[in-house]
């Protein structure tokens, strides 16, 4: 018999706030975190907007020496993980440290540090000037390993990488390890810091980014007829997953229960999703089957909803395939309309938003949705959050390379 897994802690840093409470308050209020790029001089770039973590100074959260030794994505993960640990009371049993794990990923790792160090060598011509902490800063697994070292968790420290679905796969892998008995608890999530010149330029070359500048808060516009593309973002989100009896034994607060995980691949194209939505629909079906639910049991879906031409119509088709006519009755919103797209980290943020939607019985809005695309004809909760009973929520995440992930959460009951 598989073990039940609950969520007992949350942490986040996002373009809307330095913690979960501040971010969630602005999500429900429909506030945008998008603005002009300040990380670098973007005057020569076609893309001039992003959803940055505002006024970021890592020394507010860690000693300057520690901050210098970490890429920004690792700094974000440290902040989110520490909030999560403090929120849920995550502690490692010194008699069984291998029963605690850390599954925290990143789609791109320390690419901003890599860029900065490479530019320094190019400009000075002296490779000896590179920081001795370069390799730890560049490593995609650096964020997860730092958290494992800080907590003393000696179970698996994995960093699954599945592009923009990374955070969801990290949560799903942790879920599997706990319910199958390998671990009793795990910190899971992802962090990203992709707002730097090459990151913006390279993604813009795919044709996926919004180039609107006059009113940054009007981008992105998921599911809209005039959607201009996605908006780059940054931040991190981490949750504590815990075996139910382990959580009960220590009197932990339980936010909700994770009951389903579906993950697959389109095996179709390196950047484009399967247009008919069949791969994404199969991930949804797998997650529902894993949760032992029918589509009729879903109350809310947090959509991947990037605001790109290729994603939104595909995701709409996928939900229709998976849920049939029930798709028209399930509210489905894109919180990326407010947070922007923080690559793999957004999937972890949206898992938290799904759990809080259940806790507070509120479906977050999709802002900027004035005129839906005709092929996007579902209920996307336009403009304003909706108070409604939510007992079961799904979070969808899709990524370059054809990655499809769906997670299912429900209200915890004995």
Per-residue pLDDT tens over the stretch 395-410: 999 999 999 999 999 9
pLDDT score for 1: 60
User: What is the Cα–Cα distance from 103 to 174, expressed in whole angstroms?
Assistant: 6
User: What is the Cα–Cα distance from 87 to 240, expressed in whole angstroms?
Assistant: 9
pLDDT classification of 2: cutoffs 50, 70, 90: confident
pLDDT, mean of residues 92-104: 98
Average pLDDT over the chain reads 96
Percent of the chain with pLDDT over 70: 100
Tokens 């699954």 -> residue: 160
The residue from 84, 209, 246, 341 that is catalytic is 341
The residue from 170, 246, 304, 403 that is catalytic is 304
Q: What is the DSSP string of 33-57?
A: --EE--SS--TTSS--EEBPPTT--
Active site residue 253: no
Label residue 22 exposed, middle or buried (CB < 10 Å: 0-12, 13-18, 19+): middle
For the four alpha carbons of 276, 278, 283 and 289, in that order, the dihedral sign comes to positive
Q: Which of 202, 230, 237 is nearest to 34 (CA)?
A: 230
Q: What is the CATH number of domain 260-410?
A: 3.40.47.10
For the four alpha carbons of 25, 29, 230 and 165, in that order, the dihedral sign comes to positive
User: What is the Cα–Cα distance from 366 to 372, expressed in whole angstroms?
Assistant: 11
The residue length of the chain stands at 414
**Taking the domains of the chain in order of start, what are their residue ranges?**
5-249, 260-410
pTM: predicted TM-score of the whole model, two decimal places: 0.97
Report DSSP state, residue 58. Answer: G
Tokens of 294: 């029918």
pLDDT classification of 414: cutoffs 50, 70, 90: confident
Active site residue 341: yes
Taking only the tens place, the pLDDT of each residue in 99-153 is 999 999 999 999 999 999 999 999 999 998 899 999 999 999 999 999 999 999 9
Active site residue 246: no
The residue from 84, 164, 170, 376 that is catalytic is 164
Q: Are strands 185-192 and 49-50 parallel, antiparallel or unpaired?
A: unpaired
Q: What is the CATH number of domain 5-249?
A: 3.40.47.10
Q: Which of 196, 207, 231 is nearest to 217 (CA)?
A: 231
Taking only the tens place, the pLDDT of each residue in 224-241 is 999 999 999 999 999 999
For the four alpha carbons of 237, 108, 364 and 25, in that order, the dihedral sign comes to positive
């Amino acid at each position: 018999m598989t073990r039940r897994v609950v969520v007992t802690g949350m942490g986040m840093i996002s373009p809307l706030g330095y913690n979960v409470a501040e971010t969630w308050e602005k999500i429900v209020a429909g506030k945008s975190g998008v603005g002009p790029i300040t990380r670098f001089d973007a005057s020569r770039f076609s893309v001039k907007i992003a959803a940055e973590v505002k006024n970021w100074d890592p020394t507010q959260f860690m000693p300057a020496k520690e901050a210098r030794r970490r890429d920004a994505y690792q700094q974000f993960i440290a902040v989110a993980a520490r909030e999560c640990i403090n929120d849920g009371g995550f502690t490692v049993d010194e008699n069984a440290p291998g029963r605690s794990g850390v599954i925290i990923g990143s789609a791109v790792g320390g690419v901003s540090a890599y860029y900065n160090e490479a530019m320094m060598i190019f400009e000075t011509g002296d490779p000896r000037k590179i920081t001795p902490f370069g390799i730890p800063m560049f490593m995609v697994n650096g964020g997860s390993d730092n958290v494992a070292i800080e907590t003393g968790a000696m179970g698996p420290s994995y960093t699954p990488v599945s592009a923009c679905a990374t955070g969801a796969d990290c949560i799903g892998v942790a879920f599997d390890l706990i319910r199958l008995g390998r671990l009793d608890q795990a910190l899971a999530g992802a962090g990203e810091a992709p707002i730097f010149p090459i990151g913006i330029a390279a993604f813009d070359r795919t044709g996926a980014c919004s180039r609107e500048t006059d009113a940054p808060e009007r981008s992105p516009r998921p599911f809209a007829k005039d959607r201009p593309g996605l908006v780059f973002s940054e931040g991190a989100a981490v949750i504590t997953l815990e075996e139910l009896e382990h959580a009960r034994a220590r009197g932990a607060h339980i936010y909700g229960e994770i009951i389903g995980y579906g993950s697959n691949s389109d095996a179709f194209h390196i950047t484009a999703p399967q247009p008919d939505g069949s791969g994404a629909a199969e991930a949804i079906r797998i997650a529902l089957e894993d949760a032992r639910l029918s589509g009729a049991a879903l109350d809310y879906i947090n959509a991947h909803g990037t605001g790109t031409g290729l994603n939104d119509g595909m995701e709409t088709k996928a939900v229709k395939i998976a849920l049939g006519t029930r798709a028209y009755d399930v509210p489905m919103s894109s919180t990326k309309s407010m947070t922007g797209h923080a690559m793999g980290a957004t999937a972890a943020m949206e898992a938290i938003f799904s759990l809080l939607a259940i806790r507070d019985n509120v479906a977050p809005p999709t802002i900027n949705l004035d005129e839906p695309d005709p092929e996007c004809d579902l209920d996307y909760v336009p403009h304003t959050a909706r108070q409604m009973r939510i007992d079961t929520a799904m979070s969808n995440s899709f990524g370059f390379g054809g990655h499809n992930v769906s997670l299912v959460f429900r209200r915890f009951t004995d």
